[in-house]
Amino acid sequence: MRRRDCITFLVGAAVARPLAVRAQQAAVPVIGFLGGTTFSGASQWVAAFVQRLRELGWIEGRTVAIEYRWAEGRADRAAEITAEFVRLKVDVIVTYGTPTAIAAKQGAASIPIVVALLGDPVASGLVASLLRPGGNLTGLSTMSTDLVGKRIEMLREVVPGLHRLAILGNVGSPQGVLEMGELRDRAHALGLEVVTLEIRRTEDIAPAFDRLDGRANALYVVGDPLAASNIIRVNTLALGARLPTMHSNQEYVAAAGLMSYGPNFPALLRRAADLVDKILRGAKPGDIPIEQPTKFDLVVNLITAKALGLAIPPTILARADEVIE
């Protein structure tokens, strides 16, 4: 067990430097980084991506330029950013999350796209197959629907007498809808009642909790850019409602969630840099298979557990890759 390191990363002068100044520099490949959330929420991911690029010889401001934009969980904003990248004629678009991937795919048919965090890219209609994506998009799957059952089982271990599970998800996201459907099926198979909290925008979150009105024993948060951009709000409301939370990644747990189980997202961003390297050196994204993670991390927040009056079972603590205390 180890304490979580708090890392603050500043992307670098290129984020703030005016585009006109960079345009005067010698021509280098340009990466359009479409952040589905906010910079503060994704700073560790960006740091991992840029560091790996540097290791591969792509040094920001010297051998490659990066244009950063942030959609803040809004699909309309992601579409606007994609259109801007098309006008700028970037060489490759990098993003994360299925909703922003869809926006990029729809708006930039001729630009290679690398998506670091894809849920089910085949079911979402983004690629023809994992082995042969085709088109202009490739990336890495988070296997979100495949992990649903394991996450519910862990919640049952932690929450004694769990019988009614609330699910918070963005129904405006195709991947979110897929995961919510899988969640309902798995929960019902285990004899759990399900209460669904459907959201489409930030303004829907607080009313969704108001409608819940004590009708659940735990909350499963379906991860996507909208949830990520509002994760402090979500976890604060969950704590107020005395709801233990299950999340898809460790950043949500660092923001006062109870626990998460899933792939290491910074590691996936590092791998995304490898795919960008291949594309900048001539590979076609449609020929690069969609990769799947092989390692999954369990993270537990004992501070949140204490606030909820929960005793985390030793079996969970023994399996945890990280414990926040």
Domains of the chain, with CATH numbers?
A: 13-143+264-296 (3.40.50.2300), 145-262+297-324 (3.40.50.2300)
Question: Can you tell me the distance from the alpha carbon of 105 to that of 93, in angstroms, rounded to the nearest whole number?
Answer: 10
Amino acid letter, 275? L
> For the residues 195-209, what does the mean pLDDT come to?
96
Question: Can you tell me the distance from the alpha carbon of 17 to that of 35, in angstroms, rounded to the nearest whole number?
Answer: 18
DSSP 3-state of 98:
helix
- CA-CA distances (angstroms) from residue 269 to 15, 43, 117, 255, 258? 18, 11, 8, 20, 24
pLDDT over threshold 80, residue 26 = no
* Residues 274 and 52: beta-carbon distance below 8 Å: yes
Q: What is the structure's pLDDT at 323?
A: 97
> For the residues 4-27, what does the mean pLDDT come to?
44
Band of residue 2 on the pLDDT scale cut at 50, 70, 90 = very low
Q: What is the largest CA-CA distance in the chain?
A: 64
pLDDT over threshold 50, residue 40 = yes
Report pTM: 0.82
- Average pLDDT of the chain to the nearest whole number: 91
Question: Can you tell me the distance from the alpha carbon of 251 to that of 168, in angstroms, rounded to the nearest whole number?
Answer: 17
Q: Which of 199, 144, 143 is nearest to 166 (CA)?
A: 199
Strand pairing of 30-35 and 65-70? Answer: parallel
pLDDT over threshold 60, residue 259 = yes
